[in-house]
Amino acid sequence: MKEVKFSLVFRDMWQSAGKYQPRVDQLLKVAPAIIRMGCFDRVETNGGGFEQVNLLYGENPNKSVREWTKPFHQAGIQTHMLDRALNALRMSPCPKDLRKLFYKVKKAQGTDITRIFCGLNDPRNVIPSIRYAKEAGMIAQASLSITHSPIHTVEYYVDLAKKFIDAGADEICLKDMAGIGRPVSLGKIVEGIKAYKKNIVIQYHSHAGPGFCMASILEVAKAGCDYIDTGMSPLSWGTGHADIITVQEMLKDAGFKVKEINMEAYMEARTLIQEMYDDFLGYYIPAQNHINNALLVKPGLPGGMMGSLMTDLEDNLKSLNKWKQKNGQPELTTDQLLVKLFDEVAYVWPKVGYPCLVTPFSQYVKNLALMNVIQMEKGKERWSMIADNIWDMILGKSGQLPGPVAPELVALAKEQGRQFETGDPQNYYPDDLEDYRKKMLAQGWSTGQDDEELFEYSMHPSQYEAYKSGKAKADFEKDLAERKAKKNAPAAGVAELPKTIKVSVNGQTYEVNIAYGNEAPAATSAGAQAPVATGEGEDILAPLEGKFYRTKDAQEQAIQIGQEVKAGDTLGYIEAMKTYNAIRADFDGILTAVTVNSGDSVEEDDVIMKVLRK
């Protein structure tokens, strides 16, 4: 009787549901109940978006990871994390020195296993991470990013697994991030890998959304899979994962040896998760994400992205409908926009060479599709707004695409003077840790235990600066207050919604003004940074809704007021849907004003700068 073991993907449960993760005090409260459930040999504690979103609401992720992994170690349960290979924990590629530090920090913080994946399945991105992880003392689990296309066959995946095993991978994960792997084919992939190396550990990860996952779990278990990732109520099914109770019962009935579940502990953990949901996390979990949806089979979008997608879509729909109101056009509903988006993803995906739809490439394809939809709704051309990091994927700077790029995009790249690349992706991203170390020294910031604060700053520069200044927490508290007021006011019969809240950050109290709908917020009181006064020149408008940043990394110098700019120069960025969209000058001139602060939220067509035409 073969034993199948279980992992609780606690991090991914939250990321697949919505936007944020629990606070460290909440994590420590639920850990004992998860341990007492007695059915888990592994728990996914961190990685992927976990640490970045902690920064967004003002919590130190390094403290969170160290404290959260500790109780599982004491109980003999392995911890694992999600790792984006060339991109490590972020959306964009990392320099080699940062990638090496990454594994040293995570091992020191208490993470046992790193699940390394590349959405292009490019061995040049994965194999160095296998080596760096093992050098740091971690278990290197190399992933096959699963999707369904004419290119991604059983043979394709078995050959890829062989390359990873030959390169020293300790384990293989079938990362079925969209849950669209076909059950029988997944079983054949496991069989092929076990035939190549009988004792290699294989873990299967699937999302529930499209509906294949239970059949897939049974097929991979029959083929010899060792570990199955599961979720638990109230964050199972929908865009999340199959519930541990159902999976355990199915495999027990099929004759596998599985651990029993302490149901009293299950109910305690379930109650604590619901308390986290009710506290603040539920305000960022759209109701649609609780529902399984066969429409996801066609676009193949991953569960981990669907969590944030529905929240992002609300903002994009609001912005688009505002434009439609101005131009006398009928507004779209959420469902109408969602169907248009899914159809456009299915159209775009083959055009950009069939990258596996997993972070960051799922966001790139989805963002490209959404920009196409929005631009075409406004009567503009398809492909009229492509972010630089999406171009990097198309051009080969992120790795080799599985399929060819469509002729129209090749022609557009040529028209814009862009070059296709075939070299090792790592070569395009030079080391920069020492630059960040110098910046921290200049600010008087500690690089932290095991250089973990240096790692965090280098990995997420803009978010880390917002965390250190207190802006991240203030922005989060303001947004949460707006969501709570909007949800609770009708039921409570409140005549007037609050206009201000007070937020304490690092001992400093800030009064934050709240705006609703199309209102403009009042000027913020003491503690806020005032934008630069408006100068002469032509308005530079935000091309879409998001957060405005002057630069996106340490290598870049912000254009200063009074500095000359040339047509095509990058003036700044709008970070939207996890990608940085460059704002470029349309003409030669002089920058005379920056009317919003770096990190501020802006809406489409907001004035963000002024340039005096020469």
Q: How far apart are CA 55 and CA 456, in angstroms?
A: 9
Q: 240: domain CATH number?
A: 3.20.20.70
329 inside domain? no
CATH assignment of the domain containing 591: 2.40.50.100
Over residues 456-482, the pLDDT tens digits come to 999 999 899 999 999 999 999 998 999
For the ranges 268-282, 374-388, 563-577, the maximum mean pLDDT occurs at: 268-282
Same domain, 554 and 477: no
Lowest mean pLDDT among 350-354, 533-537, 575-579: 533-537
- In this predicted structure, what is the pLDDT of residue 531? 44
pLDDT tens for 212-228 read 999 999 999 999 999 99
- Range scoring the smallest mean pLDDT among 377-386, 418-427, 524-533, 560-569: 524-533
Identify the pLDDT of residue 334.
85
Looking at the fold, whether 499 and 553 belong to one and the same domain comes out as no
DSSP state of 3: B
Over 80: is that where the pLDDT of 302 sits? no
* Helices 303-326 & 334-351 angle (0-180, nearest 10): 120
Do 134 and 64 share a structural domain?
Answer: yes
What is the pLDDT at residue 614?
Answer: 81
Residues 69, 87 within the same domain = yes
In terms of domains, do 106 and 20 share one? yes
Are 454 and 509 in a shared domain? no
Which has more pLDDT, 570 or 490?
570
**Mean pLDDT estimate for the chain:** 88
Q: Is there a contact between 126 and 158 (Cβ–Cβ < 8 Å)?
A: no
Nearest to 168 by CA among 129, 221, 216, 217: 129
Look at residue 525 and tell me if it is in a domain.
no
Q: Respond yes or no on whether the N-terminal peptide bond of residue 360 is cis (omega within 30° of 0).
A: yes
Q: What is the mean pLDDT of residues 163-179?
A: 97
The proportion of the chain whose per-residue pLDDT surpasses 70, expressed as a percent, equals 90
- Is the bond leading into 302 cis (omega within 30 degrees of zero)? no
* Distance of alpha carbon 600 from alpha carbon 596, whole angstroms: 7
- 459/573 same-domain check: no
Name beta bridge partners: 40: 6
User: Per the domain annotation, does 373 fall within a domain?
Assistant: no
Task: Quote the domain boundaries for residue 561.
Answer: 538-613
pLDDT of residue 266 exceeding 70: yes
Query: Other C-beta atoms within 10 Å of 583: how many?
Result: 20
Residues 475, 465 share a domain: no
Is the Cβ–Cβ distance between 578 and 506 less than 8 Å?
no
Residues whose CB is less than 8 angstroms from the CB of residue 166 and which lie 6 or more positions away in sequence, other chains included = none
Pairing of strands 5-8, 227-230: parallel
Give a yes or no: residue 350 inside a domain.
no
Q: Which of 268, 288, 308 is the last residue before a domain boundary?
A: 288
- Both 542 and 579 in one domain: the answer is yes
Structural domain total, the chain: 4
On whether residue 379 sits in a domain, the answer given is no
31 and 72 assigned to the same domain:
yes
Section 227-244 average pLDDT: 95
Same domain, 577 and 494: no
- Whether residue 353 is contained in a domain is answered as no
347-381: per-residue pLDDT in tens? 999 999 999 888 888 888 988 998 899 889 988 89
For residue 389, tell me if it sits in a domain.
no
User: Is 519 a domain residue?
Assistant: no
- In this prediction, residue 57 carries a pLDDT of 85
Final residue belonging to a domain, choices 288, 315, 330:
288
For the ranges 82-91, 122-131, 358-367, the maximum mean pLDDT occurs at 122-131
Whether residue 150 sits in one domain with residue 27: yes
